[in-house]
């Protein structure tokens, strides 16, 4: 029988690093941004821009649903994938450790019959694609930002390496059973590698099952790419409100830097870290920190609002209760920790 009290205490302690990082980000914003400019800047935000931002945010969720449906091998319908994504993002706004990702894995794994472990592994693949796109875009735009022509070949080379990594991912997916057998045949001296790293690698390999067929693999990349294109457009529209001549690649730089920023552990909804990342990106491009903070707030609120509306809709539609979700996540984590401790 699993003792719940120690697990709850441990879970509470895990909040600390993320909250501290968010608090540090908020402190940095207050310390270095021109806070006095935020109010006047917010009053200049056009209603038309806000409505367009909300519309594009909804379209992004739709495209993200299509992307996850493809990564799942089209074994679930679009509605299930779409609301799964929305519910996960909504819960990320409320729970620490990006627990919304675990929740959507539980939801879709159970409702589809695919199993939680398999569905969670596809979320890992989705994140791997995101990292590849973020790295590619920032490597291609950074030489333009710093104005160093010598960095352009370096950026292109690094971009080629990332693309080669995606191709390698496809090759591995075709030979995943051989790779798993090879990994499991290794007798690593480190207990940590055997009990923590190897199981995670095996989960990743399980998620590659949906990418075995070339059409599915490239459709998954296509829909993830469309998501990133929409993000680039959204952030370009935002920075264009402040700099009319802003080139499109500015949106790519902001989106990729933001993606890397919010990957850092933080409080729920990436409070503070999101704003600091956007302000940092805008400031690097020469935008006033106060104006940048105003638009960071607008962008973040729009994102939270759309994910909350559709996330709540999905939870009500599927009859999910928040207390049941917390209990399921807690039990899932306790079982995994208990299993890992026994293996050690």
State pLDDT tens for residues 155-195: 677 778 777 877 777 777 777 777 777 777 776 766 666 66
- CA distance linking residue 129 with residue 149, whole number of Å: 28
Count the domains in the chain: 1
- CA distance linking residue 103 with residue 87, whole number of Å: 8
Q: Which two tokens stand for residue 124?
A: 């890992």
Percent of the chain with pLDDT over 90: 47
CA distance to 32, 104, 111, 208, 308, per residue, from 314 (Å): 40, 11, 13, 27, 10
Q: Mark 154-172 as b/e (b = at least 16 C-beta within 10 Å).
A: ebeebbeebeeebeebbee
**Of 209 and 39, the one with more pLDDT:** 39
- CA distance linking residue 138 with residue 255, whole number of Å: 9
Question: Residue 236 pLDDT more than 60?
Answer: yes
Q: What confidence score (pLDDT) does residue 250 get?
A: 96
| Ramachandran assignment for 76, one of left (phi > 0), alpha (psi -120 to 50 degrees), beta (any other) | beta
**Of 171 and 304, the one with more pLDDT:** 304
Q: Which domain holds residue 326?
A: 4-343
Q: What confidence score (pLDDT) does residue 265 get?
A: 86
Q: What confidence score (pLDDT) does residue 343 get?
A: 44
**Block residue for tokens 């879970």:** 11
- CA distance linking residue 329 with residue 323, whole number of Å: 10
**Block residue for tokens 């310390």:** 31
Q: What confidence score (pLDDT) does residue 182 get?
A: 77
Q: How many residues does the chain have?
A: 344
Q: Mark 228-237 as b/e (b = at least 16 C-beta within 10 Å).
A: bbbbbbbbbb
User: What is the per-residue pLDDT across 92-109, written as a single tens digit (0 to 9) for each?
Assistant: 999 887 888 888 988 898
């Amino acid at each position: 029988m699993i003792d719940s009290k120690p697990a709850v205490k441990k879970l509470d302690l895990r909040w600390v690093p993320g909250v501290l990082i968010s608090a540090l980000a908020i402190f940095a914003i207050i310390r270095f941004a021109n806070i006095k400019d935020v109010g006047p800047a917010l009053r200049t935000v056009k209603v038309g821009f806000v409505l367009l931002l909300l519309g594009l945010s909804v379209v992004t969720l739709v495209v993200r649903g299509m992307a996850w449906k493809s990564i799942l091998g089209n074994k679930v319908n679009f509605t299930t994938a779409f609301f799964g994504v929305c519910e996960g993002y909504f819960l990320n706004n409320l729970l620490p450790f990006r627990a919304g990702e675990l929740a959507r894995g539980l939801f879709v794994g159970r409702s589809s019959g695919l199993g939680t472990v398999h569905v969670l592994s596809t979320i890992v693949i989705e994140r791997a694609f995101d990292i590849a796109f973020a790295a590619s875009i920032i490597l291609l735009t950074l030489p333009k930002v710093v104005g160093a022509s010598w960095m352009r070949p370096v950026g292109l080379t690094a971009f080629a390496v990332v693309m080669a990594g995606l191709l390698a991912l496809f090759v591995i997916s075709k030979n995943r059973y051989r790779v798993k057998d090879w990994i499991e045949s290794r007798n690593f001296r480190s207990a940590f590698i055997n009990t923590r790293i190897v199981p995670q690698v095996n989960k990743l390999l399980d998620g590659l099952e949906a990418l075995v067929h070339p059409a599915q693999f490239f459709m998954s990349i296509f829909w993830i790419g469309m998501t990133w294109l929409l993000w680039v457009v959204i952030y370009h529209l935002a920075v264009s409100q402040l700099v009319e001549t802003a080139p499109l690649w500015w949106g790519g730089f902001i989106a990729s830097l933001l993606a890397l920023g919010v990957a850092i552990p933080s409080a729920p909804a990436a409070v503070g870290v999101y704003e600091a990342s956007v302000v940092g990106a805008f400031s690097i491009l020469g935008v006033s920190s106060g104006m940048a903070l105003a638009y960071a707030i607008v962008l973040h609120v729009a994102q939270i609002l759309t994910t909350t509306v559709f996330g709540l809709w999905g939870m009500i539609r599927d009859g999910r209760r928040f207390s049941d979700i917390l209990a399921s996540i807690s039990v899932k984590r306790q079982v995994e920790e208990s299993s890992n401790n026994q293996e050690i």
